[in-house]
Structure 1
Amino acid sequence: MKIHNKHKNVLIEVICLLYIFLFVYAALSKLVVFDEFKIQIGQSTMLTSFAGIVAWIIPCLEILIALLLLIPRFRLLGMYAAFNLMVMFSVYIFVILNFSDDIPCSCGGVIEKLGWTEHLIFNIVFVILASIGIYILNGQKKSLHAKTSFLITQKNLYKPLSINAIGGICFITILFAFTHKGTERDMSFHRGFLHDPPHKTHELDLEYSGYYIAGADEKNIYLGNPKSPLYLTVVDSSLQRKKVIHLSMDLDSLLTRSPQLRVIPPYFFLMDGTVPYILRGNIKEWKGYSMLEKPFYFTNVQPIDSLTLAIRAMSNKTNEFSLGTIHLSDSGAMTLSHKLLKKQVDGLFDVDGTLQYNQQKQQLIYTYRYRNQYIVANNNLELQVLGKTIDTISQAKIKVDTIVSKNQRKMAAPPLRINKYSATFGNYLFVNSNLLGKKEPLVLWKKSSVIDVYNIVNNGYQFSFYVEDINKSKLRSFCVVDNTFIGLIGNHLVTYKLKNLLNEVQSLAVKQ
């Protein structure tokens, strides 16, 4: 069906106005918070080396294209430019979603609220609109100069569009190929893998990937869901039976920003250090009672016992993270130690890590994320062991910048992550490392996650083992109970038997 010229004129005006509004709005949004936009650009592995230049080029290009679309004589040129830019934006997002570990935000205003998948769809729609605009403008030979080099026959229009699209795709692909660092390999250490490695015993498809491990014992595994914090999923240790428990509470309503559910039988805790609140209840009735009288703010949290929590919190004295405890008895009290976490860069990002509490040894364990260290402290926040992981990255390789307009500090470049996750049980610390050791096969590394095992008593490395990926999804959370390794991989729950640790764990229990 042919479109009448009148309708074509209306359509091209609408397309141009949409693009003008989009580019002017996006450019101004970036320029208004330029320092923040520059940091967001730097967070991308592909663009971190060119963050300063790209942060200026993108909004300037958007304004220039909007001006070209505003002037009828240059609209065809502007539409080709818009088409190219939106193709490159779309390919960039596709690469970020599928091939990059770092997913920054590089937009401003309302568009920043879109998820990356929605943003990709949004861009594709505008690519289609630009294609339609080019088709209409190219056909309006009377309203354009007939001799302009941009005019071609309508039948052959797919050729320049294809060339422009392929050019944009190739540009982003080459940029990614030359800037993508790939897997980090540390040639300074060897891992020791067991001849008889732990083997997978059970696997369960949870049909949802948003769970996290809230706790586990010999009989059950407890899974929390940040989107539904009052619902707890309980799976038996053989991964055969699953039930959902609705938690009740003594509050009329509950504000949830960053809820953390922990189950340490016979108690469970529902906590949010940003609101803040702490609910505690018995697993027999699954009803939580408010335990926090004073507004203690915290980030990471792990229960020590029924009345004491280990936390990581921002210190009012130093404006840096510190480890500490909250005592819920009587009126409640928070104690922070400024000696445990050691600042290298800013005292916030450089000391990031995972907080665990070892119930068997009654010790607090903190594993740094960006350096090869872990801390073992007692309940009085006294340092007992300063351990090292087997790699040699002792200095956090991060770049931090400040958004002056918001007085916020953010990562200005992708950091080198050393230790992704950790768990502890008995004499042992289990660390999911992000570094490839010497002579380790890259093929095996890409389809599995490596766990390094350390003895926190003698402060020594023991051995490593692999946990296989499932459907290209990697290990994202785990814990250890007795001789069982429990992991979440995508939307799958798995268990591995650690029979090599059984004798020592049992001897530890006898001694206690």
Structure 2
Amino acid sequence: MKLNSNLGTIAKEIICLLYVMLFVYAAVSKLLDFENFQVQLGQSPLLSAYASYISWMVPTIELLVAFLLFIPKWRDYGLYACLCLMTMFTAYIYIVLNYSSFVPCSCGGILEKMSWNVHLVFNFFFVGLAVVAIVLNYRSKTEKISVKNKFSPIKAIPIFISLSIVIIIALFVSSEEIMEHKNPFIRRYIKRTVQLVHSKDLIYNSYYFSGSSPDKLYLGNYTTPLQIISIDTSFKFQDTHYIENSDPKIHFRSIKILVREKYFYLMDGSVPSISAGSTEDWEISIKLKGLPYFTTAEPIDTSSFIFRNNNGIKSANILGIYTANNERKIQYKPSLLKKQIDGIFDTDGILHYSSKMKKAVYVYFYRNEIIMADKNGNLAYRSKTIDTFSRAKIKVSYLKNETVRKMSAPPLTVNSLSTLHNNLLFIESKIPGQYEDPALWKHASIIDVYDISKKSYVLSFPIFKIGDDKLKSLYLTDKYLYVLIGTKVLMYELKENLKNAMQTDQHTSIE
């Protein structure tokens, strides 16, 4: 009996020593590489929103538990703390493996080299050791005092394990809600989001994205404005298409060609002129009349457009809807764009239209705001990008008796390039968030992804420069993200996390 008691005491001491070594090593590793540890926590789907607190709490608690195990009269508390902490770590990894797409390891030291599955087995083993030590410690006490503790390990262990799991689940649910809808400016960089599959050198850097069909990408060229090239999705075949100016009396100054489904649209807001035709023959068959001047426009269908021009108060930007059905009608929507400083520069941005969602989206350049409206121009909602700049940081000078406005200082650009397809909005951000590596921003453009149907942030990923050339345009389809960098067009395949987030059902609508 005494031999069994001695063996139990030795086993308990060994387990306590293993835990002390584990927690001291893990805590010191985290503190020595604290910045990296905090960055990794910022990427976790369970802990992103609480990274600033947990990054200090975890190593502190690990050291405190190790200290408790050294003091015999506090060892009970230390062993139950070991059980709770290791159960939380185990539940964390289980959720990572089964309910998240990617989370960097944030354990520190040699533990970081383990695969997630090996780490899960490792944690289960230490949970088992904690249970054994608690039982041995309980037996040694009851043998000495010959009194049974009412709160025995049989009752206590399941309670502490259950409570630890509930805490981790609660952190997961609350953190996801905060990250998606109340983001504290923490980006979630997800690996294997897009994969480069093709690239092609266009020789010239004057191309822009016109649109796409299921098997082709279309690009316009600012220097040859009536010419369109199409590239198949294998990037092996390229065709050139020409659109004839059927009305030589029109003197175009700023032509842009858009391709939407089976139609092309020849637009010039400075004339103003919008013509349309089929991509089967590239001949103009529709000419819209009574158009307003516009600075940008997006087709809703072949007879209606959403546009922006400077017909607002004091020449401010304003959005409107043009419709040519039955009788021509122009409806301005002055409540959509909100003036902060001058109404022109401060409301500048990019206009998009999603035919699947039947929604128009406007992304401001100089503030963290997205506007969504229905096809009639009625406001659906205003939403925020994840950065914190809600007011435009620009300086405007008024010249020639306030008839001319110019930027008097470089503006702070918040959202740069953007592209919309179905419910997913990709935005190139210019503002670094919390826990981000400055080196990444030197070599890449950062793309933030939003789901306009849920008003939520989804994830972020980098598009790396080619030499000194940075990203200059984006275009998104059901399966691919196309980018222009310098003279090259690149095709990235969307991976499962983005494909799953995109609503491709033909009948999907959030109206």
Q: Do they superpose with TM above 0.5?
A: yes
Q: CA deviation at 1:439?
A: 2.5
Q: Which of residues 232, 236, 256 is equivalent to 1:236?
A: 232
Specify the SS of the correspondent of 2:502. helix
Q: CA deviation at 1:293?
A: 2.3
Tell me if the contact between 1:426 and 1:508 (Cα under 8 Å) persists in the aligned partners.
no
Q: CA deviation at 1:246?
A: 1.0
Matches of 1:378 and 1:318, distance apart in 2: 26
Does residue 1:439 correspond to 2:419, yes or no? no
Tell me if the contact between 1:340 and 1:375 (Cα under 8 Å) persists in the aligned partners.
yes
Does residue 1:326 correspond to 2:322, yes or no? yes
Q: CA deviation at 1:316?
A: 5.2
Q: Deviations over 1:449-488 (max 9, x none)?
A: 1110011112111100111111221111111100211111
Matches of 1:504 and 1:510, distance apart in 2: 16
Matches of 1:275 and 1:282, distance apart in 2: 22
Tell me if the contact between 2:394 and 2:412 (Cα under 8 Å) persists in the aligned partners.
yes
For 2:498, give the aligned amino acid. L
Q: Deviations over 1:479-498 (max 9, x none)?
A: 11002111111111011122
- Tell me the residue number matched to 1:478: 474
Q: Which of residues 250, 263, 268 is equivalent to 2:246?
A: 250
For 2:479, give the aligned amino acid. N
Does residue 1:378 correspond to 2:413, yes or no? no
Q: CA deviation at 1:383?
A: 1.1
- Could you tell me which runs of 5 or more consecutive residues in structure 2 were left unpaired when the two chains were aligned: 1-182
- Tell me the residue number matched to 1:210: 206
Q: CA deviation at 1:250?
A: 2.1
Matches of 1:506 and 1:396, distance apart in 2: 32
- Tell me the residue number matched to 1:48: none
1:489–1:303 CA distance, 2 compared to 1 (3 A): same
- Tell me the residue number matched to 2:152: none
Q: Which of residues 474, 483, 502 is equivalent to 1:505?
A: 502
Tell me if the contact between 1:277 and 1:290 (Cα under 8 Å) persists in the aligned partners.
no
Specify the SS of the correspondent of 2:440. helix
Paired residues for 1:488-503 under 5 Å: 488-499=484-495, 500-503=497-500
For 2:284, give the aligned amino acid. G
Specify the SS of the correspondent of 1:324. strand
Tell me if the contact between 1:487 and 1:494 (Cα under 8 Å) persists in the aligned partners.
yes
Matches of 2:332 and 2:502, distance apart in 1: 31
Does residue 1:199 correspond to 2:203, yes or no? no
Q: Which moved more, 1:347-356 or 1:314-323?
A: 314-323
Normalised by the size of structure 1, how large is the TM-score?
0.61
Tell me if the contact between 1:236 and 1:242 (Cα under 8 Å) persists in the aligned partners.
yes
Matches of 1:384 and 1:330, distance apart in 2: 26
Q: Which of residues 309, 312, 315 is equivalent to 2:308?
A: 312
- Tell me the residue number matched to 1:401: 397
Q: Which of residues 413, 416, 420 is equivalent to 1:420?
A: 416
Tell me if the contact between 1:303 and 1:309 (Cα under 8 Å) persists in the aligned partners.
yes
Matches of 2:504 and 2:322, distance apart in 1: 32
Q: Which moved more, 1:373-382 or 1:438-447?
A: 438-447
Matches of 2:208 and 2:310, distance apart in 1: 24
For 1:420, give the aligned amino acid. S
- Could you tell me which runs of 5 or more consecutive residues in structure 1 were left unpaired when the two chains were aligned: 1-186
- Tell me the residue number matched to 2:268: 272
Q: CA deviation at 1:337?
A: 0.1
1:190–1:504 CA distance, 2 compared to 1 (3 A): closer
Tell me if the contact between 1:402 and 1:409 (Cα under 8 Å) persists in the aligned partners.
yes
Matches of 1:510 and 1:274, distance apart in 2: 36
Q: CA deviation at 1:388?
A: 0.5
Q: CA deviation at 1:275?
A: 1.3
Matches of 1:371 and 1:350, distance apart in 2: 8
Q: CA deviation at 1:233?
A: 1.1
Specify the SS of the correspondent of 1:298. coil
Q: Deviations over 1:419-445 (max 9, x none)?
A: 001111122111011112223222221
Matches of 1:434 and 1:316, distance apart in 2: 28
Tell me if the contact between 1:300 and 1:355 (Cα under 8 Å) persists in the aligned partners.
yes
Specify the SS of the correspondent of 2:498. helix
Aligned residues with identical type, % of pairs: 36
Matches of 1:290 and 1:393, distance apart in 2: 43
Tell me if the contact between 1:249 and 1:287 (Cα under 8 Å) persists in the aligned partners.
no
Tell me if the contact between 1:251 and 1:290 (Cα under 8 Å) persists in the aligned partners.
no
Q: CA deviation at 1:506?
A: 5.3
Does residue 1:300 correspond to 2:296, yes or no? yes
Tell me if the contact between 2:288 and 2:303 (Cα under 8 Å) persists in the aligned partners.
no
- Tell me the residue number matched to 1:450: 446
- Tell me the residue number matched to 1:14: none
Give the number of the structure whose alpha-carbon radius of gyration is greater. Answer: 2
Q: Which moved more, 1:309-318 or 1:474-483?
A: 309-318
- Tell me the residue number matched to 1:346: 342
Q: Deviations over 1:172-210 (max 9, x none)?
A: xxxxxxxxxxxxxxx962210113331111111111100
Matches of 1:334 and 1:317, distance apart in 2: 17
Q: CA deviation at 1:271?
A: 0.7
Q: Deviations over 1:375-414 (max 9, x none)?
A: 0110111111211000000000001111216821111110
Tell me if the contact between 2:306 and 2:321 (Cα under 8 Å) persists in the aligned partners.
yes
- Tell me the residue number matched to 2:13: none
Tell me if the contact between 2:422 and 2:504 (Cα under 8 Å) persists in the aligned partners.
no
- Tell me the residue number matched to 1:223: 219
1:510–1:404 CA distance, 2 compared to 1 (3 A): closer
- Tell me the residue number matched to 2:359: 363
| CA RMSD, Structure 1 to Structure 2 (Å) | 1.9
Matches of 1:387 and 1:504, distance apart in 2: 19
Matches of 1:421 and 1:373, distance apart in 2: 14
